[in-house]
């Protein structure tokens, strides 16, 4: 199955902050990930990232909360989106 774009949305909020979600379904995992998704979830303002979730070759699933980078345990696409929403909704940086 060829790669296919599942989501590509961008919201500019009234306060100027941005929420962007991009998710691809892949034919092969991005190692060391075991799932078949490539994603980039972003929340920030003024060119400063507040919350980011992404996966990249060699690094795997992880998230950024402000300047802090933390591993992320991917269980499902729905859980990923829920975790991202939770972090955005509870951002206090």
Picking from 7, 14, 4, the residue whose alpha carbon sits closest to that of residue 41 is 7
pLDDT at position 1 over 80: no
pLDDT of 93? 63
What pTM did the predictor assign? 0.91
- Range 4-12 average pLDDT: 96
Where residue 92 falls among pLDDT bands split at 50, 70, 90? Answer: confident
Residue 84 CB coordination number (10 Å) = 21
Q: Cα torsion for 69, 35, 58, 53, to the nearest 10°?
A: -20
What DSSP designation does 58 have? T
Domain locations in the chain as residue ranges:
4-89
pLDDT digits 0-9 by tens, 31-78:
999 999 999 999 999 889 999 999 988 899 999 999 999 999 999 999
If residue 60 lies in a helix (H) or strand (E), which one and from where to where? strand 60-65
């Amino acid at each position: 199955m060829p790669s296919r774009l599942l989501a590509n949305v961008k919201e500019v909020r009234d306060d100027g902050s941005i929420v962007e979600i991009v998710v691809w379904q892949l034919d092969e995992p991005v190692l060391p990930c075991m799932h078949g998704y490539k994603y980039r979830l972003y929340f920030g303002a003024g060119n400063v990232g507040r919350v980011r979730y992404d996966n990249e070759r060699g690094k795997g699933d992880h998230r950024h909360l402000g300047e802090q980078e933390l591993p992320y345990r991917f269980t499902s696409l729905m859980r990923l989106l829920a975790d991202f929403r939770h972090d955005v909704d509870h951002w206090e940086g």
